[in-house]
Structure 1
Amino acid sequence: MSSYQLGKWDLTELVKNPKSPAFQKQIKELEKQAEKFEKIKSKLDPKMSSKQFMNILHQVEKISENMSRIGGYASLSYSSDTQSDEATALMTKMSKLGSEISNKILFFDLWWKTQVDDKNAKRLMKDAGEITEYLSHKRLFAKYALSEPEERIINTLDVTGISALVKLYDKITNSFEYKMKVGNKLKTMTREELTNYVRSTNPKIRETAYKTILSKYSQNKGVVGEIYQNIVQNWKDEGIEIRGYESPISMRNIGNDVDDKTIDSLLSVCKKNSPVFQKFFVQKAKMLKMKKLRRYDLYAPAAANIKEKNYSYDKSVKLVFESLGKFSTTLEEHARKVFNENHIDSSVRPGKRDGAFCSTLTPKITPFVLVNFTGKSRDVFTLAHELGHAVHSQAAQDRSILVQDAPLPLAETASTFSELLLYDNLSNKISDNEKKAMLSEKIDDLYATILRQSFFTIFEVDAHKQIGEGTTIDEISKTYLKNLKIQFGNSVSLSDDFAIEWSCIPHFYHTPFYCYAYSFGNLLALSLFQRYKKEGKDFVPAYINILAAGGSKKPEKLLSEYGFDITSPKFWQEGFDYVKDQVKTLSSLN
């Protein structure tokens, strides 16, 4: 049996040598394809045959695949060495090329959304097969589209409008310097570095770290708050007043291809289940030997006195394979492919990008996975998570590049599900003490990715309404504090300095209403996992088919085919039942 070693990936399948004439030829070919495609513009006619229409779509697929291969190579080689001047230069060059190619083929997208009447659209889609839903979804936006000159005005003004506001927020907040005493030294650090201290085993350090961050935002609340109010106002003016969307959150829902009813149902179930996590916080206080958790202690390591187990890379990889294989040998084979083809970059080295990701370039190429493996149990779960993404992509590898990727709310399904399979497998192999540490950390994560994100979204709904009616920054902060009080009940003592925390959440500024996608993806995976626990092996084919659909079907439609009604609160509740069981298990270990 082979042994797995830490190492770098092999990108030669994408590009043999970026300095070779062959690579220049690859680029020239792509540019030629795009120029040839531009000539179609004069031939576009809603009355064209469906065969001609499909032929155009196949050209779009080909261009997308070739661009993805070249652009993917540039971004992956940059990720593996961000300090390399060559990789940086290539990345810049390919970003520019990508933007030029997109602009050249954009006319077809606009024509399809706005120039084709419904009757002809229906006729043209009759042979579209798996990309029918994708084409229909694009046409949904036609209802909210404006004339070409108006769209151009909005695009032009966005550069100095909403995009400029977001850039300004980033520029201001990224320049913040935080000073905090560590030991006897006063250290200056970034927010990223400071956030590590929020998980310190020392309560005083946790409190100081939070206060240092929050006071900086509080000092700048005038300008940071003003930016937020303008972003929200812009979202309302363009989305509701000009384009005619129902509500601020509807704009995001339509973009995600989900119904308002589904998201209402998700958020109301999350709100109703806050006592599940409140119980956990009471338990966590006991584990930390505290009377009551303060908000500063939320992410304190509850099992700090338990020695954390280290895992070798070889053992970790095999554990993930085993966990997937117990569920389905097909999924295990997909995960093995990433290693067999050397598409994984796992070693920690200077210049390599932090964190972890999985990159799917085209349906024909096995995904590439990047992790920074140090042997902690968290790293084993990260490996399972990213390989879950790779499994998802490969399950959908027979799809067109236009619909291989699942829509945002479904994108975390396989990654979270793979972590659950690993946890299930591991919990039979570790001591009660290790299990206590792992379980407590896992429930922390479930809180952060499910309940916290849904309450963020509930706050945004309220804030957008308030700002639309005209309000002050202090009123927004009061709304946020109220939101936290509902979330924590009596389980956590809350200080007023957290009222300004909303202004520290970049998602509110960058992508309004994005956060519910985390709650959606994680709860969906938990609900599916609960079904697996009930139905056993009978559940496996349905799960694999859900993954294999990629983005070819609307989430509600896809899941209803397998008996899951995501518009119903009952479905989301099944996910919370899993969390409830985990909290109970933790309580029995204490």
Structure 2
Amino acid sequence: MLNRTFDFAKNLAAMSATTGAAIKPELGDLPSWNLADLFPSKDSPEFKAALEKATTDSIAFETRWKDKLADAATKSGNDGLGAAIRDYDALDDILGRIASFAGLTYFSNTADPANGKLYGDAQAKLTDLGSHLLFFTLELNRIDDAVIEQAIAIDPLAAHYAPWIRDLRKEKPHQLEDRIEQLFMEKSMTGAAAFNRLFDETMATLTFDVDGETLGLEATLSLLQSGDPKKRESAARALAATFAANIRTFTLITNTLAKDKEISDRWHKFEDIADSRHLANRVEREVVDALAAAVKDAYPRLSHRYYAMKAKWLGMDKMQFWDRNAPLPETPDATISWDEARETVLSAYGAFSPEMAGIAKTFFDRDWIDAPVRPGKAPGAFAHPTVPSAHPYVLVNYMGKPRDVMTLAHELGHGVHQVLAGGQGALMCATPLTLAETASVFGEMLTFRALLDKTKDKRERKAMLAQKVEDMINTVVRQIAFYEFERKVHTARKEGELTSDRIGELWMSVQAESLGPAIDLSGGGYETYWSYIPHFIHSPFYVYAYAFGDCLVNSLYAVYQNAAEGFQDKYFALLKAGGTKHHSELLAPFGLDASDPSFWGKGLSMIEGLIDELEALDKA
């Protein structure tokens, strides 16, 4: 319940103040979101009434259904199991609305104490209410399989929720006695949730001295894409200096959360350190292992090869780590206005499907997007689904760079997916992370291909292809390296507390392996850069979902390019399914199978093909 995470964009994934990032007038009018569709304000009668209703309904739900589910499973109608799940679904919607409003308000300005209080108070209230609801899934899973299947057979409402019921029962081997689960839930407020908030609020106060100018994280990271090598180096050293000054705090947070997870995993009988994430993603460990192995095997053909080519283009024997995302000399330096970005994305979406473009357009027309860079705002980007009775919201930090246009396309893909899946209701709309990246990466690909098709100039085409390859390496290679880093950290933490130096060593080992010999990682403080990645804090082992989604979409896009009529209908059916089907069922209509070891090779071959095209352009 309330498993609605904020999906931070992979490229600038962090929380930070944005000091020093002045808005450029050439960007045009940037929209700020209107959260009134959730609640008018945190002091509004509507918000207070929702809290009161949530309290009343949660207590009434516990009174009505606790210790009665086995009996309900033998009935239908308003006394049947389906009715109980229907009531639970309605509660999930109202509690999700409260959580979403508090979270989105907080991330609008994490530096505002009033927003922090709202966020903390809402989390505490929802945890208290959760104690009245915790019994439901635990008690439901104690009912015999035969009784559950009979309930689905005799009760049409239970049959409607059959995908959710059967999905829930996958958690049965890992659930504990009710009181222990309640203790885990309530203690999370002073455990994992508290350290998550400590990370967020620490990041929100960090500033970086770049050549005498004080900047926030977003603006400083942006300078790593500067065309000026000296500016890139200054930004990289400023990042390292501030990270190093705060490294003890980040080390404490990392050690605490890794130990907290180990305790939870041990009690819940998870064998592998990532098994709880695999279960949440409804993906088999063997599938993820095959993905990771395929990507690691491809490092020399992808990142090592590409970065060697890029070093040559930049006139270097080796690039420093701060040169990794440097623009090529061929890269246009023009600022892309918000209106131009909007038209670019909607046009690309519309060429694929007018319906898809129509949904995306709604985000612009109804102020569902928050675009400006401002102090205290969470940087990077995310799409948050909120609840089916409302609509998703998108956060970006738009600065007019080509990558910002791709980020907008990515997050709107999430938004379209969330709108379409909302028809499944609060309990069944959420898509496992492995498939949640499908629409976002597909949206990026549509936008990239549309722009590439319009580009006839050889130099501009080379710059576009190079940027896309870099984005795909960041999505696939870098995220699997992140996953391997997390595995090393959580494994080593079982043997005792880790020092900052030890975490840095683990970080440098996976970075060197994944980036290859063309990039020099020494001498600039890069060993501290693990500290700002929020996925490690908020969602351990989340990161492989990006690589999963990118490789999946590469294969899916190849099907689209060769497909006859009907691809769009199959694609929309995939998105509308939400969390009601396993990835094997969703991919079958496209002739794809993620459990096939060759599947990942197909996805990776598309990246290799783009590198081949770059190499051919270079020789032409």
Could you say which residue in structure 2 is the equivalent of 1:38? 62
User: How do 1:473-512 residues align onto structure 2 when only pairs under 5 Å count?
Assistant: 473=499, 477-495=504-522, 498-499=526-527, 501-503=529-531, 505-512=533-540
Amino acid in structure 1 at the alignment position of 2:165: L
Of 250, 256, 272 in structure 2, the residue corresponding to residue 247 of structure 1 is 272
Aligned-residue offset at 1:263? 0.3
Retained in 2: the 8 A contact 1:324–1:421?
A: yes
Q: Distance in 2 between matches of 1:506 and 1:348?
A: 19
Of 74, 93, 100 in structure 2, the residue corresponding to residue 65 of structure 1 is 93
Question: Is 1:294–2:320 an aligned residue pair?
Answer: yes
Q: Distance in 2 between matches of 1:99 and 1:559?
A: 36
Structure 1 residues 239 and 358: alpha-carbon distance in aligned structure 2, compared to 1, 3 A threshold: closer
Of 144, 148, 164 in structure 1, the residue corresponding to residue 178 of structure 2 is 148
Of 358, 363, 372 in structure 2, the residue corresponding to residue 333 of structure 1 is 358
Q: Distance in 2 between matches of 1:87 and 1:249?
A: 33
Q: Distance in 2 between matches of 1:238 and 1:278?
A: 38
Amino acid in structure 2 at the alignment position of 1:570: S
Structure 1 residues 432 and 102: alpha-carbon distance in aligned structure 2, compared to 1, 3 A threshold: farther
| Higher RCO by CA contacts (8 Å cutoff, separation 6 or greater) | 2
Could you say which residue in structure 1 is the equivalent of 2:283? 258
Of 587, 605, 616 in structure 2, the residue corresponding to residue 577 of structure 1 is 605
Question: Is 1:556–2:584 an aligned residue pair?
Answer: yes
Could you say which residue in structure 1 is the equivalent of 2:162? 132
User: How do 1:282-431 residues align onto structure 2 when only pairs under 5 Å count?
Assistant: 282-303=308-329, 306-346=331-371, 354-430=379-455, 431=457
Could you say which residue in structure 1 is the equivalent of 2:140? 112
Q: Deviations over 1:206-231 (max 9, x none)?
A: 34543454466667767755664554
Q: Distance in 1 between matches of 2:550 and 2:92?
A: 30
TM-score, normalised by the number of residues in structure 1: 0.84
Structure 1 residues 223 and 423: alpha-carbon distance in aligned structure 2, compared to 1, 3 A threshold: closer
State the secondary structure of the residue aligned to 2:563. helix
Structure 2: which 5+ runs fail to align? 1-27
Retained in 2: the 8 A contact 1:131–1:400?
A: no
Of the structure 1 ranges 406-415 and 43-52, higher mean CA displacement relative to structure 2 is found in 43-52
Cα-Cα RMSD: 3.7
Of the structure 1 ranges 557-566 and 229-238, higher mean CA displacement relative to structure 2 is found in 229-238
Structure 1: which 5+ runs fail to align? none
Retained in 2: the 8 A contact 1:133–1:554?
A: no
Q: Distance in 2 between matches of 1:175 and 1:249?
A: 31
Q: Distance in 1 between matches of 2:556 and 2:328?
A: 28
Q: Distance in 1 between matches of 2:171 and 2:365?
A: 42
Retained in 2: the 8 A contact 1:367–1:393?
A: yes
Amino acid in structure 1 at the alignment position of 2:435: L
Q: Distance in 2 between matches of 1:110 and 1:319?
A: 48
Q: Distance in 2 between matches of 1:92 and 1:226?
A: 21
Q: Distance in 2 between matches of 1:69 and 1:472?
A: 39
Q: Distance in 1 between matches of 2:404 and 2:182?
A: 46
Of the structure 1 ranges 444-453 and 226-235, higher mean CA displacement relative to structure 2 is found in 226-235
Amino acid in structure 1 at the alignment position of 2:313: M
Structure 1 residues 300 and 413: alpha-carbon distance in aligned structure 2, compared to 1, 3 A threshold: same
Q: Distance in 2 between matches of 1:216 and 1:351?
A: 17
Structure 1 residues 150 and 363: alpha-carbon distance in aligned structure 2, compared to 1, 3 A threshold: closer
Could you say which residue in structure 2 is the equivalent of 1:277? 303
Of the structure 1 ranges 273-282 and 136-145, higher mean CA displacement relative to structure 2 is found in 136-145
Aligned-residue offset at 1:179? 4.8
Of the structure 1 ranges 21-30 and 318-327, higher mean CA displacement relative to structure 2 is found in 21-30
Amino acid in structure 1 at the alignment position of 2:294: V
Amino acid in structure 1 at the alignment position of 2:485: F
Q: Distance in 2 between matches of 1:170 and 1:80?
A: 13
Amino acid in structure 2 at the alignment position of 1:408: L
Q: Percent identity?
A: 29
Aligned-residue offset at 1:249? 1.6
State the secondary structure of the residue aligned to 1:428. helix
Retained in 2: the 8 A contact 1:324–1:332?
A: yes
Structure 1 residues 363 and 224: alpha-carbon distance in aligned structure 2, compared to 1, 3 A threshold: closer
Question: Is 1:455–2:481 an aligned residue pair?
Answer: yes
Aligned-residue offset at 1:424? 0.8
Aligned-residue offset at 1:108? 1.6
Could you say which residue in structure 2 is the equivalent of 1:521? 549
Aligned-residue offset at 1:264? 0.5
Structure 1 residues 165 and 425: alpha-carbon distance in aligned structure 2, compared to 1, 3 A threshold: closer
Of 188, 200, 206 in structure 1, the residue corresponding to residue 226 of structure 2 is 200
Q: Deviations over 1:160-190 (max 9, x none)?
A: 555566666667777776555x1xx4x5655
Aligned-residue offset at 1:266? 0.8
Could you say which residue in structure 1 is the equivalent of 2:569? 541
Structure 1 residues 258 and 37: alpha-carbon distance in aligned structure 2, compared to 1, 3 A threshold: same
Retained in 2: the 8 A contact 1:530–1:574?
A: no
Retained in 1: the 8 A contact 2:127–2:186?
A: no
State the secondary structure of the residue aligned to 1:46. helix
State the secondary structure of the residue aligned to 1:369. strand
State the secondary structure of the residue aligned to 1:397. helix
Retained in 1: the 8 A contact 2:106–2:119?
A: yes
Amino acid in structure 2 at the alignment position of 1:40: R
Q: Distance in 1 between matches of 2:582 and 2:145?
A: 20
Amino acid in structure 1 at the alignment position of 2:323: D
